[in-house]
Homo-oligomer: A and B are copies of this chain.
């Protein structure tokens, strides 16, 4: 076995995926997935209240199970345990912002006996909405306190899904964890800290997650100032001292794998572990993102990322997007992030709506639900594909989960207008697809209006590869070609690229991308005639959006 392997570890919402790649060819030597056992059992969550917590042991157990699975996969190929010995570097991608209150060693409170069952001592998953009031407070304070507006690199608005809002909520809502915690760690920071047994004070915190989720910026001298945080809660001000002032891009080495963890995972001790980062950004790199390329991760929601060179060392502020961070995607470049808060989720909502009669009236009917489930999206797509958008009067607004970008407004809602007695399910489905495409166009137009040119678009994720109708409509609405990335595992692949840089196989991430990036599966070309129609309908969509904003503004 003369090959050099690198390990990309991708912590998703439900499971941990470990993938070992040949560092020179990018070929997958083996991979394995392990679910989070407590999460799968529904523990520590309340979906109806949008409370989602994950126990740190879920991360550890799934990592160990994943490594056992990987070892078995390599063995099946005839490499056996020796395969893991060829691993020369590790990198982590995790969801984010997924922070946790930790003790002075950087251990999540839930790892102690006292807080083992306390959801407030666990990781607060990216989609947890406990902190809506706290995010509003941060936004108000930021605009009114007289000092720096710390939201300015976060699109002008701080989200309840992010680091400080969640930490503030935890320490206020739960005085016991509020007095027991010492610091706060994101999931992508905890993993390398743990595996390298690095003291907390020397942790190399991720630039990507700190910049996008915790308002870290060089111009601020790091995280928001102690006095600002003190207005929110003195405990946050104190915690700031534990965060350090520097942050690091994912091509840096966090530390070396400790002997204990090497043995637990079957790896060689002392191999480099890279600085962590958020899955979507790592996935953008894994897709081959370069300057001027918009990478759209299209699933239940979208994450839209683009990198742009800094101009004369300066940083252009783009209003109304989620955030912009130097080096969050590609080191040395500005990384911008935007997104649509409901994409595939809007289609799933309609599917669920149409499935209501079966659920409510015939929940026990044998095979009916299964048969509908198995084909409803395909049949809807087929029928919707036959509809001429000029002949359908139905127009939708895609904000069923609020609007993330442009211009964060979580309380906005979706709409369907132009309904007639002849409006059919496929017409409404098509209108929803068109609406999500209009939402994409609004983001693209915002970037370009603010001087971030978009030269190409890459799409990945479940929707991109599985829904040709959706992709064609998005291309038609944008009037631009879209390259579909030929891999379902761009996050693990991106992590492996960073692991390869950490291992010294490549001098920088650009070289790693060149060698390892996946092919473009195919290019969806826009239909210019449809584009003319959609230009008109897009104007109606914008008008509908203005109406929906005015409606929401007047509600009590």
Contacts and interface: CB of A to CB of B under 8 A. Distances in A.
B379 A361 contact: yes
Contact of A356 (B354, B375, B548): B354
A415 B413 contact: no
A43 interface: no
B413 A417 contact: yes
A414 B425 contact: no
Contact of A383 (B360, B362, B397): B360
A133 to B, nearest CB: 19
Given A353-B354, A360-B383, A415-B416, 9 more contacts: A342-B421, A353-B428, A355-B357, A358-B358, A395-B551, A397-B417, A400-B419, A400-B421, A544-B547
A345 interface: yes
A544 B416 CA distance: 12
Interface stretch (A254-262, A364-372, A462-470): A364-372
A263 interface: no
A519 interface: no
A371 B354 CA distance: 16
A418 B419 contact: no
Contacts of A544: 547, 551
Contacts of A346: 421
Contacts of A401: 420-421
Interface residues of A, number: 50
Q: Can you tell how many copies of this chain the complex includes?
A: 2
A417 B548 CA distance: 8
8 contacts: A349-B419, A353-B423, A360-B379, A365-B368, A400-B419, A413-B418, A414-B423, A415-B416
A219 interface: no
Interface string A538-556: 0010011001101100111
A393 interface: yes
A357 B554 CA distance: 37
Interface in A328-364: 342, 345-346, 349, 353-358, 360-362
Contact of A375 (B361, B413, B551): B361
A424 interface: yes
Interface in A362-412: 362, 365, 368, 371-372, 375-376, 379, 383, 393, 395, 397, 400-401
Interface of A: 342, 345-346, 349, 353-358, 360-362, 365, 368, 371-372, 375-376, 379, 383, 393, 395, 397, 400-401, 413-421, 423-425, 428, 536, 540, 543-544, 547-548, 550-551, 554-556
A413 B419 contact: yes
A50 to B, nearest CB: 10
Nearest 7 A/B pairs, CB to CB:
A414-B419, A356-B425, A415-B417, A547-B547, A416-B416, A413-B418, A357-B372
Contacts of A360: 379, 383, 425
A127 to B, nearest CB: 12
A393 B413 contact: yes
B361 A372 contact: yes
Contacts of A417: 397, 413-417, 547-548, 551
A538 to B, nearest CB: 13
Contacts of A413: 393, 417-420
Contacts of A355: 357
A476 to B, nearest CB: 19
A418 to B, nearest CB: 5
B400 A376 contact: no
Given A379-B361, A540-B551, A345 B421 contact: yes
Contact of A421 (B349, B357, B365, B421): B349
Contacts of A554: 540, 543
A517 to B, nearest CB: 34
Contacts of A551: 395, 417-418, 540, 543-544
